[in-house]
Amino acid sequence: MFVDQARIFVAAGDGGRGCLSFRREKYVPRGGPDGGDGGNGGSVLLRADAHLSTLVPFRYRRLFKAERGRHGMGAKRRGRDGEDLIVKVPPGTLICDEEATSVLADLRAPGEEFVAARGGRGGKGNARFATSTNQAPRRTEGGEPGEQRWLRLELKLLADVGLVGFPNAGKSTLISRISEARPKIADYPFTTLTPHLGHVLVDDATSFVVADIPGLIEGAAQGAGLGTRFLRHVERTRLLLHLVDVSPQAESSPIERMDVIDRELAAAAGGLANKPRFVVATKLDTLPDTGPPIERLKLLQRHCGRHGLPFTAISAVTGEGMEDLVRAVARMLRELPGGSEAAHGPNGPNGPNGPNGAAGDDAEGTCGSP
């Protein structure tokens, strides 16, 4: 099960009360006040964990409460601080305040933390209020309450390359041929219902991560099909592979289908229309050597040339053009900002879990509603 949105309530621990106490010991006259301070309440921290890839755990648990601080004791003994509660989330998680819908934190790299709710400070015991004119104070402080709030978590996959295109354009077949990902493949629309990540090994020194999302249709940016729910998963990518089906069985022309996806990317949030794009004609094995179908492929190639878009044609079934595509993508990633070093797997410098991640400059913004 893939879950990319969740709503949770975080509550930090309250601070402990200060103690009201006087030293009463044999042979010690005028022992004086000795009430200790209360302990601080524990905080709730969200931490990115590389072993997580979905927000499924938050479907079954929504309340996260840290331990409260212990009360102060006599003999000036301070109460124990409450333990912090660490909540693990997958890398790429946006943390948003539900009321303001503003982004509070963007945990991209494993180990990054955000204090979601800060624990309350412990109160002072009466020993802290003793003065020369008030040697037996009976004043203490109660602990401060810990912070509480509802948060919305939104997961955006971290990948170098995002696959976009119509349903059945060949995205799942492509990612299954170039990586270890094994998405469902069938000859009907919307076979892919959840995003998939695939790690592509180009050679011993170069690799990159590809994200496959469900197919887009006209109106996807307004919610048609599965558009708005999954378009966010290619917002962080540095390069889009736009797959266009050129098989004779396609209902409309390749240029028309390409223009539809162009309009949806322009209407979507996250600046998708401004991302570098590589157009890939798919299902080359279905084309005859001559005739109208092969002419449609040439028209698409000329259309991309007029718009300055790199173009190639492949067949994921036969493997034609696949090796050239992978190497061309790796070369483009190296030339893009942040791509001077090769990504060595998901934990490499430019891998999804590396320090540079695969993210763009979209940390700011607002969280969408589920």
- 262 band by pLDDT with thresholds 50, 70 and 90: confident
Task: With H, G, I as helix, E, B as strand and everything else as coil, classify residue 35.
Answer: coil
Tell me the CATH number of domain 1-155, given options 2.70.210.12, 2.140.10.10, 3.30.420.40, 2.60.40.10.
2.70.210.12
Q: Rounded mean pLDDT of 128-136?
A: 90
What pLDDT is attached to residue 225?
45
**In this predicted structure, what is the pLDDT of residue 344?**
39
pLDDT confidence band for 142 (50 / 70 / 90) = very high
Same fold for the domain at 1-155 and the one at 161-335? no
The CATH architecture to which 161-335 belongs is: 3-Layer(aba) Sandwich (3.40)
Of the candidate ranges 277-286, 315-324, 359-368, the one whose mean pLDDT is the lowest: 359-368
Higher pLDDT among residues 79 and 286, named by residue? 79
Q: Which own/partner contact pairs does 327-330 have at CB distance under 8 Å and 24+ positions apart?
A: 327/202, 328/278, 329/161, 329/200, 329/208, 329/239, 329/241, 329/278, 330/202, 330/206, 330/208
Helices first, then strands: H and E counts in the chain = 5, 14
Mean pLDDT rounded to a whole number for the chain = 80
Over residues 190-232, the pLDDT tens digits come to 454 567 778 888 887 788 888 887 766 555 444 444 545 567 7
Q: State the pTM of this model.
A: 0.68
Backbone angles phi, psi at 338, to 5 degrees: 80, 5
pLDDT in tens, 150-165: 999 988 877 888 888 8
In this predicted structure, the answer to whether residue 345 has a pLDDT above a threshold of 50 is: no
Q: Is the pLDDT of residue 68 over 50?
A: yes
Considering the chain, what percentage of its residues have pLDDT values greater than 90? 35
Listed by start position, the domains of the chain span: 1-155, 161-335
